[in-house]
Structure 1
Amino acid sequence: MVITSLDFDKPGKQQGFLQVPYSHNLGGWANVMVPITVVARGKGPTVLVLGGNHGDEYQGQIAAMKLARELTPEKVTGRVILIPSLNFPAARAATRLSPLDGMNMNRAFPGDAEGPVTSQIAHYLRTVLFPLSDVVIDMHSGGRSMEFVPCAHMHLVPDREQRARMFAAMLAWGTEFCFIYADIAGSGLLPVEAENQGKLVITTELGGGECVPASVHRITQCGLKNVLIHVGALKGREQPRKATAIITQATNREDYILAPESGIFEIAVDLGGKVKPGQTVGFIHHLERADRAPEPIVAQTAGYLITMRAPCLTQQGDCVAVIARQVSAREVLSA
C-alpha cells in the first residue's frame, strides 16, 4: 500500500515522500507523506538512516534532516537512504505513539500492508527498505519519558560475526558510554527485525527530554557521520575516541527498576553514577499522603545509572531507573 516516486537504483540525489494511504473525516483519499532522501553514487554499502521512530525523540530527527540537506553524491560511496521522521504523525504531534492509530512504531513489526498507518510503514521497511540495506541506523533518545546518558547501544545477537560488526560500529559513534540492552517490554522491535535479516544494526539512546543540550546534538551529529565513514558509505577519515568507552550491559529484568507505587519520583543518584546492590537510587513520594515516608527505590544490581525517568510524576509500573554493569569487549563478543 505504501508507494514512492523515488527510484532507489538511480544515482544522484533525490528527495521525496513515502505515501501511506490514510482516510479521515475530512479526507477520503488522503495520504500520510513521510519525507525521504536518497543519495547514491558508485559501488558501496546501502545505509538506511532513521530518526523519529518515536515522535518525541528529536536528536536523531535533527541529525538526519541536516545530513539530508548536506549530503551530495560526491560525498557518498554507495547509497544513503534517510528518513528523518519515520513515525511522521507522531513527530508532528510530539508524541511517542502515533496519534492516528495509537501504535508504537518500535513494536509494530512485522507490520501489515493493509493495516493502520504505523503497521503499513513497518511492513514497507521489512519488505522493501531492509532488504535493500546493508546497514540500519535507528536513532533514539529517551523522549519525554526517560533521560539517558548519551550512548550508542546494541543487542547481543546470536550470530558472532554480525555481533562483532555491530560492536565495532557502536564504538564508532564515539559516545562515552556504550550500552548492551535487552527487551523487557514486548516484541516487534525495528532493530530486531533488521537484525533477523542479518543487517549491521546501530542504535542509540542520546539523552532525552524536551530540551536537548548542544553537547548532545554534537554527539548525535558527529557520531552519525563517523559511523557512516566507519561502514564505508561516507568519504572521510574515521575519528577514534581519545578515551576508552565505558561498555555497560543490562540484560536481566532486575536491572530495569519499575515503580512499585504511583507518586512523585525523586532520583537520588547522578545520571552516569556508580550504584551498589541495595543502594537507594530514588524515592516515590505519595501525593495523597504527604505524612507518609516515601517509598525507597532500591537497586538490585551493581553498575552505572544509565537512564532515569524524566517526568517526576510517575505511575505504578513505570520504569524509573536502569542499572547497567560494566563489561569488557571480550565478554560482549563471546557471551
Structure 2
Amino acid sequence: MTSAIARREWSVPVGRRIDGAPWHIRFVELRGAAPGPATAIVAGLYGDKPLGSIAVHDLELQLMQEQLKGTVLLAPAVNLPALQVGTRVSPDHLYLNRRFPGTPSGFLTDQVAHAVANVVYEHSECVIDLHSGTPNMALWYSYDAGDLELTSSFGYLPVVVDFRPGGQVSATAVERGLSGFLPEFGGASLPSPAAGVEGSLNTLRYRGHLGGSPTGPPRLPVIRERPLFLASTSGVLQASVSTDSVGSEIPAGRLGWITSPATGEVWEEFEIDRPGILLMAVTTPTIVNPGDFAFMVGFPHDEVEVPGAS
C-alpha cells in the first residue's frame, strides 16, 4: 500500500525569446503524507547531458509508488537554452554550473541560475546536482562538497574529494548553509539511467524520505588524485580503453594517443604510471582539438562505507 503523495507542478519564466515568449523552467514538488526533510534533485544543467533529465523523470515515477516522508523537489531540465541545442555551453557561451547563484539582470545564463537558485535554495535543505555523461562521453564518480557521508550515501560511484569549483549549484548551496553534492554517471556506451535513479533513491533513504536499505556496493573508493587528460593538439584520438570500462580499474600504461590524419604520425600520448579507476572516457576514434576531453583517471587513497549498507 502506498501513501498519498501531493504533487505540485509550476514553472518560472526566464528571459524572452525572439517570439516574445519566455523560457519556462519546470519544477515538480512531491510532498509525502508524513513530515520529513526537504531535498532537491536538479538535472539538465548542461545541454549535452540528457541522461540526467531522463533519470529525474524515471525517479518521479518511482517516488509516486513509495511511502514518502517530507518533500522532494525535482527540476529535470533547468538549462533549457542549452538543452534545445544540445551543447555543454549555453548559447551565450557561458557554463551554467559555474554561475550560481546568478543575477536577475545578467547574461541569460546568469538569469537562469538566479531563477533556479531562488526556488531550489528556498524549498530544500539538500541539493543533489545530478549529472550524466553525454552521447559521446561516459562518466562514473561523485564530487563531494564537504560532507563525505552524504556524498557516499548515493552509492555506486567513486567519491572525488577536495575539488569544488565555484559557482556550482551544489557548492553554492553548501556556502549558504545547506548541503549538497554532484554525482556523474553513464553516457556513451552506458546509456541506462538506472544508476542515477537508484543512487538518488539511496540518498533519499539516507535523508529519511524513504525506508529500506541502500542498493549497490557497500563500500566506495575515495579519490583525491584524479588527473584529467585533455588534448593539446588536433588529430584523431584513439584509445586502449573504452567507455565500457568507465568505473572499472585499469592497469598502468597507455590510455590513448592522437594521430595526425594527414601523415599518420602520433602527435600525443596519454598514459598512467600505476593502476587506477577510469572515471571518464570518450567514444573513439574521434577528431579532437586542443582542450577537448580525452580521459580522467582516479587513484584511490581510501574507502568509505555507504551509510546503512550491510
TM-score by length of 1: 0.78
Partner of 1:44: 36
Partner of 1:192: 171
Change (3 A) 1:123 1:117: same
Alignment of 1:32-181 (within 5 A): 32-41=23-32, 42-72=34-64, 75-99=67-91, 101-144=92-135, 146-148=137-139, 150-151=140-141, 153-155=142-144, 157=146, 163=147, 167-175=148-156, 177-181=157-161
8 Å CA contact 1:263, 1:284 repeated in 2: yes
Q: Counterparts of 2:38 and 2:153 in 1: how far apart (Å)?
A: 18
SS of match in other structure, 1:324:
strand
Change (3 A) 1:187 1:144: farther
Partner of 2:271: 298
8 Å CA contact 1:113, 1:120 repeated in 2: yes
Choose from 192, 202, 208 the match for 1:232. Answer: 208
**CA-to-partner distance for each residue in 1:225-276, whole Å, 9 max, x for gaps?**
222122112x3312343x4434141446xx1122231111111135323343
8 Å CA contact 2:258, 2:266 repeated in 1: no
8 Å CA contact 1:12, 1:73 repeated in 2: no
Q: Counterparts of 2:154 and 2:121 in 1: how far apart (Å)?
A: 21
8 Å CA contact 2:145, 2:170 repeated in 1: no
Please state which structure has a larger fraction of its residues in strand: 2
RMSD: 2.7
SS of match in other structure, 2:71:
strand
CA deviation after TM superposition for structure 1 residue 31, in Å: 1.0
Partner of 2:296: 322
CA deviation after TM superposition for structure 1 residue 77, in Å: 1.2
Q: Counterparts of 1:285 and 1:304 in 2: how far apart (Å)?
A: 25
Change (3 A) 1:314 1:126: same
Change (3 A) 1:248 1:257: farther
Partner of 1:202: 181
| Long gaps (5+) in structure 2 | 305-310
Change (3 A) 1:182 1:320: farther
Change (3 A) 1:128 1:58: closer
Choose from 213, 216, 239 the match for 1:267. Answer: 239
CA deviation after TM superposition for structure 1 residue 131, in Å: 4.0
| Long gaps (5+) in structure 1 | 1-10, 158-162, 331-335
Aligned length: 295
8 Å CA contact 1:178, 1:245 repeated in 2: no
CA deviation after TM superposition for structure 1 residue 91, in Å: 2.0
Q: Counterparts of 2:56 and 2:150 in 1: how far apart (Å)?
A: 18
Partner of 2:254: 280
TM-score by length of 2: 0.84
8 Å CA contact 1:60, 1:220 repeated in 2: yes
Segments of 4+ in structure 1 off by > 6 A? none
